Structure formats: C-alpha cells, structure tokens
Amino acid sequence: MENRNPLRVVELFAGVGGFRLGLEKANSDLFKITWANQWEPSKKAQDAFECYTKNFQTGIHVNKDITTIPNEEFIEQAPDLVVGGFPCQDYSVARSLSGEKGLQGKKGVLFWEIKRVLENTHPKYVLLENVDRLLKSPSKQRGRDFAIMLATFRDLNYSVEWRVINAAEYGFAQRRRRTFIFAYKNGITFEGIQHKLSDEEILFKEGFFAKPFPILENPYKGRLSKVELPQDIVEISDTFKYEFHTSGIMRNGKITTVQLEPVPFSPTPLKDILIEESFVDEKFYLTKDAEEKFAYLRGPKKIERTSATGHKYIFSEGGMSPTDDLDKPGRTMLTSEGTTNRSSHIIEVNGRKRFLTPIECERLNGFPDDWTAGMTDRMRYFCMGNALVVGLIQIMGERIDEIDKLNINDQVQLELSLS
C-alpha cells in the first residue's frame, strides 16, 4: 500500500466477527483489527468469543466486561476506526449531584462505553450498527435516544450520517433492516469536501451511503425535514422528541433527515443459500407434532386473555404463510431461530418441512460455512441471530477505503506545494 499506512481498527462488541470479516474482505491490507472485545454477561461459556479467536489469529482479543477496561488500554491502541454493533438501550442522561457540569448516563448502557473510547482516542472514523427501532425509541418520547447519540457525536467534534438498510434491497439473501451510523472527525479531508455540499447533495448523491447504496431521486412521499439539536444534552434527554426518517446527516447539531427509497436490486432468494438435501441431518426435519404446532403458531388467531389487573382483552395475530417462500429472500433472522417459535424459518423441500440448518443461517448473513462450528446448534442460531450481514460491511469498508485515499491525495498535494 504505497504512501498509505494501514488503518488501525478497534472492534467493540465483536460477536463472532462480522465487522472484521467484512472489512478484511473489503481490503485486508488497509484494515488491521488490532484489538477486539467480546463478552457475554451472565454466561459461563463465552461461545462467541471462542468463535472469534478460532477464526482470527492476529490482534489482541479481550474477553472482559468493557466497563472494566481502563482508558489507557484504548489510548494505547490509537485507532483510526472504531466499529461495533451495540444494543438499543435507554440513553437518558441527567445532571450529576456534584454540579452543573457533570452528566450521568444510565448505568450499564453500552453506548457510553463507545463514547468513552472515542473521547480517549479520537479516531478519524466510526462505524456502528443497531436495530432499526433505535430511531424511534423510547416509545414515550420518540427520537430522544438517537438525538442524545447525535448530540454526543456533535460534542466530540464529529459529523454523522445514518441509514436504515434492508440487506435484501441491495441484493442479499435476508430482509434484515438495520441502522448503520458513520461518523467522521471534523477537519479530515473528507469532511472538508462534504462541507462544500448541501445536506441534500450528500444524502442523495455524494455521501457515505449514497454512493455505494444508490437511491431514487426523490424522498418517499416527500418525507424530508430539518431540525437543530438543543445545545444542552440534558434538555434533549428531558424534553426533545422528533420523528427521524430512515436516513440523515448531522453537522454541528443541524440535522436533515429523509425517507429514502433504494434503487431496486435483484435479491438473492432463499433457495440459493440451501445446502444439498442429502447433507441435512434428520434432526432438522419437523415431526408431525411440530408441523401441527407451527401450523397453529403461524396461523391467524384471536384469544381472550386476562391482564394482571383482571382486565379481559382479545389478543389477535394475523396469519403468515405455513412455510417461507424459497423464491424470496429470508425474513429477518432472530436469536430464537431454530426453536418452536412463529419467527423461525420453516422451509419445504421435496415435500418435507424443516428448519434452516446452522450453515444455511451462516449463509443468510454471508459468513463462510461452519464459521460457528464447535458450539451447540442452539448457540449457532443465537450467534447468527445477533450477527450482521457481512456483505454490507464489505461494501462500507470499500467506501471507507475510497474516503481514506482522499487523505493521501491531500498529503501529496501539500508536499508538492511545499517542495
């Protein structure tokens, strides 16, 4: 990599390594994951961590509660890029008892650990993944949590783009919708280029997401709006509410958010990720009893229930197809995949109904076959239910590669002007 140093990457909440796998597929010479942390609370067996260490030999692998890791350990890594998929939690903040300047976030919230890493290391880039409902939480004060996150980035001197992406809409085999957040340090070359563009030009044409994930020219049903965040993050926590759309940009606290429509790609159907039926173990096929249970679970129903207070109400649920359509991409895979649960995929091949196998679930997320081999089937399903679609990260890694080259070009121009 002439004239370019590798990007040092810190991977938080690493799971089984989807971020790392995608980045290394994008450019293994550029992205060097120097430090990764994965820790599953309240579990003796650390299956995801063991899977990570089995599949990746380089870098420091840490199996600790992130809240116990000292700042010095992060500072020592000096990351250029921080990545991670973190849980959607309550991000509310309040003034500390010790005075007006201190802030207290709710304990145990892992986004505050991301904040701690960023304020101690100041990486050029940050790439995060979360569930799509992040933009609307909490239900009683829509948009508050995401606004607190954006204000946190603002206060750390970052600009932010976000996009909710359905993997199937860009050619992948799963209808998995996730919020992706890309933050970049103000003052780097890319930010200087973006600074000359309007928010609309960035969101529709020139931004981090718009180039690799093309969209139609106009917002869906005209849904585009602007807002400025209050300066005081406690005020945001106490009173701010806002309807964030599925895409947006925040620069210096000023937000433009828009509902975008993707340019249609041909998705990968379920039938393309199935293994040969002769290799499917008999344990994955449904018994007659299981078939009857799934027929009930997936069928329409109206059931009278009684609440804890004695109030009677009708629980109703619409019906869904008895089996998943092999000519369509899979539904969103959950951690309960493979259990007797309405959300589990059930496919019918050669007249027999069965679950997806763990290998097929790995393929749904774009992992190599047997990536999670060595743990129980239940844990293999659980890890894939928590994982991300690797191909999306590969595309984003290629975009970061493209953006980082701008810094080199800028440096070359500077050296030429000084010579």
Q: Which amino acid is at 182?
A: F
Q: What is the DSSP letter of 266?
A: P
Cis-peptide into 138, omega within 30 deg: yes
- Type and span of the H or E element at 163: strand 158-166
Q: How many helices (H) and strands (E) does the chain have?
A: 12, 16
- Type and span of the H or E element at 182: strand 177-185
Using an 8 Å Cβ cutoff, are 36 and 83 in contact? Answer: no
**Percent helix / strand / coil, the chain, rounded to 5:** 35, 25, 40
Residue/partner pairs of 319-328 with CB below 8 Å, 24 or more apart: 322/294, 322/295, 322/298, 322/346, 323/347, 323/348, 323/353, 324/270, 325/270, 326/269, 326/270, 326/271, 326/274, 327/269, 327/270, 327/271, 328/267, 328/269, 328/270
DSSP string, 10-68: EEES-TTTHHHHHHHHHHTTTEEEEEEE---TT-S--HHHHHHHHH--SSEEE-S-GGG
DSSP string, 199-217: HHHIIIIISTTTTTS-B-S
Write out the catalytic residue numbers: 88
Distances (CA, A) of 35 to 16, 39, 48, 210, 345: 14, 14, 16, 30, 35
Q: What angle do CA 226, 208, 412 make, to 5 degrees?
A: 125
